Amino acid sequence: MIVSWLSTKFSRQEMEAYGAAGSIAEEVLSSIRTVVAFDGQEKEITRYEKHLQSAKRNNITKNLFSGISNGFMWFFVYASYALSFWYGVGLILEERYLPKEEIIYTPAKMVAVFFCTLIAYWNFGTGAPYFEIFGTACGAAAKVFEILDIEPQINLYKNLGTKPKTMRGDISFKNVHFQYPSRPDVKILQGFNLDIKSGETVALVGSSGCGKSTCIQLIQRFYDATSGSVTIDDNNITKLNLTWLRNKIGVVGQEPALFAATIADNIKYGNVSATQDDIEKAAKKANAHNFIKSLPRGYNTLIGERGAQISGGQKQRIAIARALIREPKILLLDEATSALDTTSEAEVQAALDAISGECTTIIVAHRLSTIRNADRIVVVSEGKVIEEGNHAQLMAEKGAYHSLVLSQGLSETEDVFTESKEVLNGVNNVAKVSETAVIESTSQENLKWRGLIEKIMVSEHYAQNYLEKQLVYKGTSYQILFLLFLDDDDDDGLSLMRFLQGPMSCDKSGIWKGA
């Protein structure tokens, strides 16, 4: 039993060392370009070998005790043979002068006892290695049983809680306090209060660690608030059925988790009963249908491990489609565009803008240029709401949001053309500026914009959308209207309409009409 206990102890330490070494190997292989770029091969080999050496030491120690145990075991086996022969012969010799009828111990009886002892000790000897194996198995399974023995406070499989017939999507945080179980000394939310109406798009902004993503996790009920309440349609989420609740929520994270399956399977993951028409409908809403159809196998294209075969923007749009196919009442976007380049961000943002209003949307963002069109922007600091309002209101207040905007190098009167040119630079479809759409103007402001507009490159998705943005230039308000369409001869040419002071419209022939 002592050897079994020691074997369990050292086997567990050995398995932990092998697990750490395996984690390092997986981490390095998944980031091999970064490792090579920083010439970190030797460093990573040293880290890997360090854990292997630890595993080796534990294995040697375990086998040393195992060898000593086996040595003692076989010593006692053979010692028992010698003892049985010595004692049996002694008994026979003591009775050698007795009359035959008084003799109890005979050579035949001695041999019989010897073989009984032999069989008993042999079975004991052959069974001993299993004690060692049992100890090794206990060490290997210890971590697994530690996890299995944990009783989760939020249990998905108990199927408890109410299931309302409908969900509007009203969300309310009332005096919510929260700290993560792994860091109970760090308070994340401290009296957080926020009411969100059904169909409203609300953006949460603030510095890292202020509690924005925590709000997303509380709504999904990955955690329960330490105190206070989170309600949906006036129902405390702790009283709602967990499966029902999560089926009403769509989530898109910063790094979408895609599976090594087809595009259709990844989208269908959001609704296993969805048909192909449902999949394509969701993809169109997510602005993903066109690029999917351009692939050789379309929706049956395998995207590889973690979506390695497609770009970041394409992965993000597939993740959005997966969220939309659920027809969620609540859509949660946690840094959904922060890791994308400007072109991919514009395409993903267009998909998000297209679905705004269909459900209650909460956006967590650091890049403030992506949330200007939100119905309400909420500034969070140290776990509390310190400001809220739309972009114009918060900029006028010149408070925390105003400081965040300026800290990102965004001016109060940021030129939408500058941003658009960066977003659209390098795309394949170049705008053909129609001469009939260029107004004759000697206005100094208009002349300054004319050269800039002619250089703007327009991506394909802008051909499907009517883009209307407000521009402030030297205190003058302009309504910038882009009317983009395919020419009649279907040559994929796009016409970029000029802007005029005040609202204007243009028909397909390029003739301007005053408002």
Model pLDDT for residues 257-281, shown as the tens digit of each residue: 888 888 899 998 888 888 899 999 8
- Percentages helix, strand, coil for the chain (3-state, rounded to 5) are 50, 15, 35
Question: In terms of domains, do 7 and 127 share one?
Answer: yes
Question: In terms of domains, do 220 and 321 share one?
Answer: yes
Using the predicted structure, report yes or no on whether residue 74 has a pLDDT greater than 80: no
Using the predicted structure, report yes or no on whether residue 101 has a pLDDT greater than 90: no
Question: In terms of domains, do 104 and 134 share one?
Answer: yes
Using the predicted structure, report yes or no on whether residue 8 has a pLDDT greater than 70: yes
Please tell me the least confidently modeled range out of 30-34, 57-61, 356-360, 487-491.
487-491
Average pLDDT along the chain: 74
Q: How many angstroms separate the Cα of 8 from the Cα of each of 15, 136, 402, 470, 508?
A: 10, 5, 60, 70, 80
With respect to residue 155, please indicate whether it lies within any of the assigned structural domains.
no
With respect to residue 159, please indicate whether it lies within any of the assigned structural domains.
no
Domain of 100, CATH number, reads 1.20.1560.10
Question: pLDDT band at residue 471, thresholds of 50, 70 and 90?
Answer: very low
With respect to residue 158, please indicate whether it lies within any of the assigned structural domains.
no
Using the predicted structure, report yes or no on whether residue 420 has a pLDDT greater than 60: no
Question: pLDDT band at residue 174, thresholds of 50, 70 and 90?
Answer: very high
Question: In terms of domains, do 422 and 389 share one?
Answer: no
Question: In terms of domains, do 394 and 484 share one?
Answer: no
- What is the number of domains present in the chain? 3
Q: Which helix (H) or strand (E) holds 395?
A: helix 391-397
With respect to residue 263, please indicate whether it lies within any of the assigned structural domains.
yes
Please tell me the least confidently modeled range out of 58-62, 404-408, 449-453.
449-453
Please tell me the least confidently modeled range out of 103-107, 221-225, 291-295.
103-107
Decide which of 407, 434, 460 is a domain's last residue. Answer: 407
With respect to residue 164, please indicate whether it lies within any of the assigned structural domains.
no
Give Rg (Cα) of the chain: 36
Question: In terms of domains, do 102 and 237 share one?
Answer: no
Identity (one letter) of the amino acid at 253? G
Decide which of 341, 372, 407 is a domain's last residue. Answer: 407
With respect to residue 163, please indicate whether it lies within any of the assigned structural domains.
no
Question: In terms of domains, do 403 and 430 share one?
Answer: no
Please tell me the least confidently modeled range out of 150-159, 192-201, 366-375, 481-490.
481-490
Using the predicted structure, report yes or no on whether residue 505 has a pLDDT greater than 50: no
Question: In terms of domains, do 131 and 96 share one?
Answer: yes
pLDDT tens column, 439-464: 333 444 444 444 444 334 333 333 33
pLDDT tens column, 79-89: 877 887 888 88
Question: In terms of domains, do 335 and 286 share one?
Answer: yes
pLDDT for 500 equals 34
pLDDT for 232 equals 92
Question: In terms of domains, do 265 and 324 share one?
Answer: yes
Mean of pLDDT values over 155-180 = 86
pLDDT for 411 equals 55
Q: Which residues of 75-108 are buried (b: 16+ CB within 10 A; e: fewer)?
A: eebeebeeebeeebeeebeeeeeeeeeeeebeee
pLDDT for 462 equals 39
What is the span of the domain harbouring residue 352? 171-407
* Percent of the chain residues past pLDDT 70, beyond the cut: 74
Q: How many angstroms separate the Cα of 332 from the Cα of each of 150, 179, 239, 352, 401?
A: 29, 21, 21, 11, 21
Please name which of 250, 457, 448, 209 lies closest in space to residue 342, comparing C-alpha atoms: 457
Pull the structure tokens for residue 368: 């403030």
pLDDT for 409 equals 66
**Contacts for 270-277: CB closer than 8 Å, 24+ residues apart:** 270/321, 270/322, 270/323, 270/324, 270/325, 270/326, 271/325, 271/326, 271/327, 274/325
With respect to residue 156, please indicate whether it lies within any of the assigned structural domains.
no
Decide which of 348, 383, 407 is a domain's last residue. Answer: 407
Please name which of 171, 166, 174 lies closest in space to residue 198, comparing C-alpha atoms: 171
Question: pLDDT band at residue 177, thresholds of 50, 70 and 90?
Answer: very high
pLDDT for 178 equals 92
pLDDT for 413 equals 47
pLDDT tens column, 296-315: 888 888 887 777 778 877 88
Question: In terms of domains, do 329 and 289 share one?
Answer: yes
Which residue has tokens 């703007």? 456
Using the predicted structure, report yes or no on whether residue 175 has a pLDDT greater than 60: yes
Question: In terms of domains, do 369 and 400 share one?
Answer: yes
| DSSP 8-state assignment for residue 495 | B
